[in-house]
Amino acid sequence: MSKKRGLSVEEKRTKMMEIFYESKDIFQLKELEKIAPRDKKITCQSVKDVLQSLVDDAMVDSDRIGTSNYFWAFPSKALHARECKIRELEGQLQDATNKKNSLEESVKTAGVGRETTEKRSALLSEIEEFKSKRKNLQKDLDLCKECDPDVIKHAPLIWLPFFPMSFFRDTELLFLDSAAENQNIVAKDAANRWTDNVFSIKCWARDKFGFEDNQIDKTFSIPDDLDYIE
C-alpha cells in the first residue's frame, strides 16, 4: 500500500485560511497548532511557518496584546482585497486598451500617402537608382581628393623620399615642378567635369519629378556651396 501524499505548501495555506473563514474567530498560535492538525490535516510542525507566510502576504492580520500574539482573517477583508485587485486590473486593462487604440491610430495615420501604388514603387525605384549613382560619384570625388593641389605640390618629396633636393639638377627640378602642375590641371578638369555631372543630374531630377534644388541636395548630401573650380 502506497504512502499517502502530504499536503503541499499552497494546500496548507488554503486550508489554514479555511479555519479563519469558517470560524470567523481570533486565534493564538498554540490554538491553531491544535486545530490545524485535527481539522485540516496540517502537521503541527508546519503551522507556524504557514501562518507566518499568510501574515507576510497580508492575508492574515496579527497583533500583539500583552505577551501574546493574536491572528485573524475575515471573509469581508478577502472580498475587499479581491475587489481592489479587480479594480486595479481593470484600470491596467483600460490603460492598455487606450494605448493599443492610440498606437493603431498612429499606424493608420502614418500609412496615409504610403499606400503601395505603381507610382510610389516607381519613385522608390528611381530614388534607389539615384542613391547608386550618388555612391559612384562619391567614389570618383574621393579619387579626385588624391589630386589635391597641396599634395601634388609636395609630390616630388613623396615620390623620392631618400634623395635630398640638392641631389637633383635645376633642369630636373623644373621637370618635377612641371609634372606636378600638369597633374594639377588634370585634377581640376576632372573635378569640374564631375561637378558638371552632378548639376546635370540635379537638373534632370528637377525637371522629371519637380524636386526643389535644396530637396535634392539634402536627399543626396550634396554640399550647398558645390561649384566649379576656377
Domain range annotation of the chain: 9-76, 118-219
Task: Tell which wins on pLDDT, 189 or 73.
Answer: 73
d(CA 45, CA 56) in angstroms, rounded, equals 19
- Is the pLDDT at 7 greater than 90? The verdict is no
Phi/psi for 131 (5° steps) reads -60, -40
Mean pLDDT along residues 197-217: 79
d(CA 58, CA 210) in angstroms, rounded, equals 71
Per residue in 135-167, pLDDT (tens digit) is 888 887 777 766 655 555 555 444 444 444 454
Task: Identify any residues that bridge with 213 across adjacent strands, giving them in sequence order.
Answer: none
Phi/psi for 195 (5° steps) reads -65, -40
> pLDDT at position 200, please?
83
Phi/psi for 3 (5° steps) reads -75, 135
Per residue in 42-77, pLDDT (tens digit) is 999 999 999 999 999 888 999 999 999 999 998 887
> pLDDT at position 172, please?
46
Q: Coil, strand, or helix at residue 8? A: coil
d(CA 187, CA 91) in angstroms, rounded, equals 71
Rg, the chain, Cα only: 43
- Arithmetic mean of pLDDT over the chain: 78
Per residue in 69-105, pLDDT (tens digit) is 999 998 887 777 778 888 888 888 888 888 888 888 8
Task: Tell which wins on pLDDT, 70 or 129.
Answer: 70
In this structure, the number of other CB atoms found within 10 A of the CB of residue 155 comes to: 16
d(CA 76, CA 54) in angstroms, rounded, equals 16
The architecture (CATH level 2) of 9-76 comes to Orthogonal Bundle (1.10)
Cα-to-chain-centroid distance, residue 13: 43
Give the rounded percent of residues in the chain with a pLDDT score beyond 90. 23
Query: The pTM is what?
Result: 0.37
* Residues 60 and 13: beta-carbon distance below 8 Å: no
Q: Are strands 27-28 and 61-65 parallel, antiparallel or unpaired?
A: unpaired
d(CA 108, CA 87) in angstroms, rounded, equals 31
Length of the chain, in residues: 230
Q: What is the DSSP annotation of 123-158?
A: HHHHHHHHHHHHHHHHHHHHHHHTT-HHHHHTHHHH
Burial 19-40 (b: 16+ CB within 10 A, else e): bbeeeeebbeeeebbebbeeeb
- Is the pLDDT at 117 greater than 90? The verdict is no
> pLDDT at position 157, please?
41
Mean pLDDT along residues 167-171: 49
